[in-house]
Structure 1
Amino acid sequence: MFTGIIEEIGTVKRVQRSGSSSFIEIQAKKVLEDVHLGDSIAVNGVCLTVTHFDGSVFHADVMNETFSRSSLGSLTTGSPVNLERAMAANGRFGGHIVSGHIDGTGSITDIKNDGIAVWYTVSTAPELLRYIVEKGSIAIDGISLTVAKVTDTSFSVSIIPHTAAQTILGTKKAGDTVNLENDIIGKYVEKLMKPAEPPKTGGITMEFLAKNGY
């Protein structure tokens, strides 16, 4: 579990995509201070497992499914990435519940200044927009943000200078693709509100006989 509070910006050292060995290597500092094999680190909001590391670089295997469902497939050597370690039990919950399981991607369609703030408008698919509500939470490239506006085709967030400086969002431009994770609570509530399907029964029933003229 993550909170969407980015700890540092790392740098991609190597990306390899092949049928037998797909992985990413990232140079970092803070997130490696207490790292162990098997630890989870969110990379642009995608939860990855540390498979080996040294003092300045960690390696994570990446499935083809992850490359295809997120923006990780567009990363190249030198790309900056947002990094966050899994939440410690004694840590503060500064953002919102972030699982690191990306729901899909969006495209930045507009960036505009508003005093000290910067507004980002992101277009995305209807199946993601259904869970995005005004003043609700959204994770963009792993950053916990508050939704300021929602339309039929897009949503907008307004960020402060600190967020722009401490994450890669400040380097984004119109047309860039970003990873999106909806608030997990809304998805579970929707699932639980759906009526349960009646249990299937086998064999001949009175209903079956009636339908077939007996």
Structure 2
Amino acid sequence: MFSGLIGTTGKIRLLEQTGETMHLTVVPQASDFLKGAVVGDSIAVDGTCLTIEQFVDDGFTVTLMPQSFIKTIFKERRVGDLVNLERSLKIGDRLEGHIVTGHVDEVTRVIDRRVNENAIELTFALPSWLRDQVVSQGSVAINGVSLTVMRAGENDFSVGLIPHTQAVTNLDGLQVGDLVNMETDILGKYVARNMKVGLK
């Protein structure tokens, strides 16, 4: 379980792919990010919940099984790419952001990018099957980053990046056409599911 508040970014040092299985070695940019971490810990990499399998020098390795490979942007990733990193929550931590499971719902695409004074406003395509899970002023995770939905339309939705988010995540570099991992709010999922069941 995560909050969508990124601990640091990291660079992909090594990427090995066999079929739809992928092994990644990632080096966090913050030197103390892995302090206290042990093999077996959960870690969110660009919003995808993965398991630390090994520590290598100043980084760590994880493996994506075929399901994670298919449902995420990692099939587009290359050595040197910047990824968002977050350690799992501990009981007693402040719950800022929102509840993020690290289970990516869909890969979606940036369809508009605007600068509005100190904010970067990004618009993404909204898959039809997720329409009832994305609402204005609700929450969504993009590449693992907890964001507030500024506007939710029939086919798209927009978010805004404050200067802090621009500085500590990889979202500031997104351009029109780029792909991202998207996870809707888990509370919205259950509400949407129960509404459908109740209508039958």
Q: TM-score range, shorter-chain basis?
A: over 0.9
Distance 2:180 2:135 in 1: 18
Distance in 2 between residues matched to 1:20 and 1:80, nearest whole Å = 21
Q: Does 1:95 align with 2:97?
A: yes
Pairing partner for 1:130 from 116, 129, 132 = 132
What is aligned with 2:47?
45
Per-residue deviation at 1:25? 0.8
> What amino acid is the match of 2:17?
R
Tell which structure's C-alpha radius of gyration is larger: 1
Once residues 126 and 3 of structure 2 are traced to their aligned partners in structure 1, the CA distance between those partners, rounded to angstroms, is 22
Letter in 2 for 1:36: V
2:26 maps to 1:22: no
Identity over aligned pairs, percent: 36
In structure 1, C-alpha distance between the alignment counterparts of 2:89 and 2:48, rounded to whole Å: 14
Can you give the 5+ residue segments of structure 1 that lack an aligned partner in the other structure?
Answer: 198-214
Residues 1:36 and 2:38 aligned together: yes
Q: How many residues align?
A: 197
Query: Which sections of structure 2, spanning at least 5 residues, go unmatched?
Result: none
Deviation digits for residues 41-65 of structure 1 (CA, Å, limit 9, x no counterpart): 1000000000111341101111111
Q: Is the Cα contact below 8 Å between 1:105 and 1:124 reproduced in 2?
A: no
Which segments of structure 1 move beyond 4 Å, counting only runs of 4 or more? none
How far apart are the structure 2 equivalents of 1:196 and 1:110?
35
Residue range with higher mean Cα deviation, 163-172 or 10-19: 10-19
Aligned twin of 1:186: 188
Partner Cα distance (1:20, 1:151) in 2: 34
Could you tell which deviates more after superposition, 86-95 or 131-140?
86-95
More strand by share: 2
* 2:176 counterpart (159, 174, 177): 174
TM-score by length of 2: 0.93
Give the whole-Å Cα distance in 1 for the aligned partners of 2:114 and 2:22: 37
| 1:195 CA drift (Å) | 4.8
Q: Give CA-to-partner distance per residue, 1:99-135, whole Å, 9 cap, x none.
A: 0000001100111111111110001311122210000
* 2:146 is the counterpart of 1:144: yes
What TM-score, normalized by structure 1, do the two folds share? 0.87
Cross-structure match for 1:210? none
Provide the alpha-carbon RMSD of the alignment: 1.7
**Alignment-derived partner of residue 115 in structure 1:** 117
Question: What is the 5 A alignment of 1:144-163?
Answer: 144-163=146-165
Find the aligned partners of 1:43 and 1:126 in 2 and give their Cα distance: 26
